[in-house]
Every structure is written in C-alpha cells, then in structure tokens.
C-alpha cells in the first residue's frame, strides 16, 4: 500500500543517492541535482503548464505521462512547487519556485500542509482505497494557502476501488484543489478518470539526444550511455545503471527459447525481478528481435546484440509475432496481485509455445 500523507522529513535518514532511492526514502520531497531546466525534453510540457497557469486555465486534474526515467515525477514536483510558491520566478525561460518564501521553506522542510502525496514506498507499490480515503479527508480541511495539491505518482497503481474513490473527488473537486498525477501507462487508468483530467505528455527524446546528454552531463563513454538509453530506468537521469541485473533474465530467456527443458530454472531467475520491470524488459527485447526478423538493423548496444541474435535465431518470425500477444498480456497483468510463480510458469510455457493457450481454451 502506498503512503498517503503530508510532506514529512525523516531527519535521521541519509540523503538519497539516486532517483530510485529518492522515491523510497523517508523524505517525500527530496532535493534533486537534475531539474526541469536540465532536461530539454521537459521544456515543452513545462511551457504548456506555464501557459495554462498564466491564462488561469489550469484544470483541476493534470496527468503527466512519460516513459520511465524521463523525469515525469521531477516535472510534477516542480509544477507543484511553482504553484504553491508565494513569489515564483517568472523570468521567461527561467521560471521556478523561489525556494525562499515561507511556502517554499515549508515544502522543502517536508511540512507543507497543502501538499498531499501518494508516493511509492519501498516494495509497497499499490494505491489502495484507504489511501484515497485519507486523501479525501485531507481535502476537507482548511487550506494553508490558496491551493491544495495532491501529487499521485504512477496513478495506474490504483486498484478499482481506489480509482472509484478518486473519481468522486474529480467529479466534484473542492475549491482551490489540483490533482496532479504521473503515469507511465495511462492506458491502464479507467476511462472515467482519463476523461476528467488533462494530459501533459513527455515526448521520448531521440537516441542521439539522450546519449549526448548522458555523455556530456556525466562523462560516460558512448557505449555506456547507449546501454542506459536502451534499458531505460528510473535511474536513467542519474547516469546510473538500474538496480536490477539485465543480463541474467536475458540469458534465462535465451536458454528458454533454445532448451525446452529449462522452464523451472528460468522461472526461478525471473522471480528475482519485479514483475512489471521484467514485463517491460522482455517487450523491449522483443522489439529488437522483430527488427532483426524484418531485416532492419537492431538498435541494441553491442553488449546486448548477441542475445538478440540468439533469440531471433531460435524461432521463426511467425513464432515471434505470436509471442507479442503473450508479452502484451503479461505486461497488462504485471501489476495485478497474481500468484507470481504460477504467472511466470505460464509466461515461460506460452513463450515456448504461444499456441498453447488457444489449444487449452
């Protein structure tokens, strides 16, 4: 279950070292070395937000969508900070919260009463109906300033009951309220919620742009930057490799497709990963396998290309086309509280024989 709370700093906690730790750290409002001004691909949605604000056309619900690692939460945090600031900097091209007014000091101290956060809390990732009820109760209290902001990270983590609870708030939003959400998979949100909010989309920067940005900012070798670009992760903006080991699950998939008797060891290996991360990674590799089968050059870095070649050579193009349905179903159910081992067993068997579900139906 996610934590629903106002900002509160844990003074005994060490300063987070990367984006993944930022999200799991006790402080829900960490200082980040990389902001909107540092990421050029955030400029377009940031400018659109500023335009809405200047014209007094901010909706009561905003959804920031973008792939993992591109800074959607950073953008949402800076939007909230700007709106709550009593004296924001409005210089064109340098707009930001002042960081010095009473409101900014409360926010940075983690004690601002008008900020309600639903953030990821370690391994507890889902947003429950109890979290939303706590949010509803907070919006019935008297505001400190002219605006109260609820910031919900990865809103697609809401279960059905939680989504229905939020829908009631969106249908009759309290005066002076803004529901600010981020999402990697907006398609997983109920259509009733999507229809009541406006979307700010973060465009995926091209490979060259992101690789150049990583090499210039962190002094990475081109090969390292390309690997980070290809993998994609919450830690991408820190120039750090993801916390999970990409090689082991990839090697396990190669074994699965070349040795039919390796299902159990593969499942055990995949169990060491977050199921949602695994689903996205397998789909990322599938895209490159299909590029190879279609006669297109792979975009994978040199270190990953041997795995792509082995996967592509293990099965025909028609087989891999059928695998897409299997991976898509797994991706869509990856966040559901299923029996993990059974879900991975089924995935492994369906990847080996994607016609199996149809024969069993």
Rounded mean pLDDT of 112-139? Answer: 82
When mean pLDDT is compared across 4-8, 123-127, 321-325, the lowest value belongs to 4-8
Give dist(CA 161, CA 158) in Å, integer. 8
* Cα dihedral value 101, 119, 206, 47, nearest 10: -30
What pLDDT, on a 0 to 100 scale, did the predictor assign at position 142? 84
Judge whether 110 and 27 are in contact, CB under 8 Å: yes
Q: Are 232 and 185 part of one and the same domain?
A: no
Rounded mean pLDDT of 307-325? Answer: 96
Q: Are 232 and 268 part of one and the same domain?
A: no
What pLDDT, on a 0 to 100 scale, did the predictor assign at position 311? 96
Q: Domain span at residue 211?
A: 205-242
Q: Which residue has the higher pLDDT, 183 or 241?
A: 183
Rounded mean pLDDT of 282-305? Answer: 95
Give dist(CA 309, CA 188) in Å, integer. 32
Q: pTM of this prediction?
A: 0.80
Q: Are 93 and 33 part of one and the same domain?
A: yes
CATH code of the domain covering residue 305: 1.20.272
**Boundary residue ending a domain (143, 175, 201):** 201
Q: Are 98 and 197 part of one and the same domain?
A: yes
CATH code of the domain covering residue 161: 3.40.50.300
**Boundary residue ending a domain (242, 262, 291):** 242
pLDDT in tens, 13-45: 333 333 333 333 344 565 666 789 899 999 999
Kindly tell me the sign of the dihedral angle through the C-alpha atoms of 237, 241, 247, 253: negative
Closest CA to 332 of 249, 285, 276: 276
Q: Are 238 and 265 part of one and the same domain?
A: no
pLDDT in tens, 151-174: 999 999 898 899 999 999 999 998
pLDDT in tens, 214-227: 999 999 999 999 99
Kindly tell me the sign of the dihedral angle through the C-alpha atoms of 331, 316, 264, 241: negative
Q: Are 92 and 210 part of one and the same domain?
A: no
Q: Is the pLDDT of residue 50 over 70?
A: yes
Q: Are 271 and 181 part of one and the same domain?
A: no
Give dist(CA 284, CA 316) in Å, integer. 18
What lies within 8 Å, CB to CB, of 47 at 6+ separation is none
Give dist(CA 153, CA 76) in Å, integer. 9
Q: Are 135 and 219 part of one and the same domain?
A: no
What pLDDT, on a 0 to 100 scale, did the predictor assign at position 132? 92
Q: Are 129 and 60 part of one and the same domain?
A: yes
Q: Are 122 and 168 part of one and the same domain?
A: yes
Q: How many angstroms from the chain centroid is the CA of residue 54?
A: 28
Q: Are 38 and 114 part of one and the same domain?
A: yes
CA distances to 91, 205, 210, 216, 350 from 41, rounded to whole Å, are 20, 6, 9, 16, 38
199, β-bridge pairs: 63
Q: Are 346 and 260 part of one and the same domain?
A: yes
**Boundary residue ending a domain (168, 201, 234):** 201
Rounded mean pLDDT of 316-334? Answer: 93
Total domain count, the chain: 3
C-alpha angle 278/281/287, rounded to 5°? 140
């Amino acid at each position: 279950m996610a934590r629903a709370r106002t900002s509160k700093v844990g003074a005994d906690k060490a300063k987070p070292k990367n984006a993944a730790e930022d999200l799991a750290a006790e402080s829900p409002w960490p200082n980040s070395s990389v902001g909107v001004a540092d990421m050029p691909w955030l400029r377009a949605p940031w400018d659109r937000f500023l335009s809405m604000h200047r014209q007094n056309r901010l909706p009561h619900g905003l959804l920031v969508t973008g792939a993992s690692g591109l800074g959607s939460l950073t953008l949402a945090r800076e939007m909230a900070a700007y709106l709550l600031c009593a004296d924001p900097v409005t210089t064109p091209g340098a707009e930001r919260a002042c960081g010095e007014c009473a409101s900014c000091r409360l926010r940075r101290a983690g004690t601002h009463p008008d900020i309600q956060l639903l953030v990821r809390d370690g391994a507890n990732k889902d947003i429950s109906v109890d979290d939303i009820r706590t949010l509803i109760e907070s919006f019935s209290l008297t505001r400190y300033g002219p605006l109260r902001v609820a910031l919900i990270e990865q809103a697609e983590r809401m279960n059905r009951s939680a989504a229905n609870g939020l829908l009631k708030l969106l249908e009759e939003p309290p005066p002076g309220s803004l529901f600010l959400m981020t999402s990697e998979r907006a398609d997983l949100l109920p259509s009733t919620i999507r229809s009541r909010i406006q979307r700010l989309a973060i465009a995926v920067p091209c490979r060259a742009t992101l690789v150049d940005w990583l090499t210039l900012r962190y002094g990475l070798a081109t090969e390292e930057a390309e690997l980070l670009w290809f993998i994609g992760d919450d830690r991408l903006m820190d120039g750090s490799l993801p916390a999970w080991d990409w090689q082991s699950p990839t090697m396990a998939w190669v074994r699965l497709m070349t040795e039919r008797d390796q299902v159990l060891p593969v499942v055990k290996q995949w169990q060491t990963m977050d199921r949602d991360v695994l689903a996205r990674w397998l789909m990322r590799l599938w895209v490159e396998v299909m590029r190879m089968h279609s006669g297109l050059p792979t975009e994978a870095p040199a270190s990953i290309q041997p795995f792509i070649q082995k996967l592509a050579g293990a099965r025909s193009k028609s087989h891999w086309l059928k695998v897409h349905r299997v991976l898509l179903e797994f991706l869509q159910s990856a966040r559901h509280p299923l029996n993990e081992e059974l879900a991975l067993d089924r995935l492994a068997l369906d990847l080996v024989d994607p016609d199996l579900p149809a024969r069993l139906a």
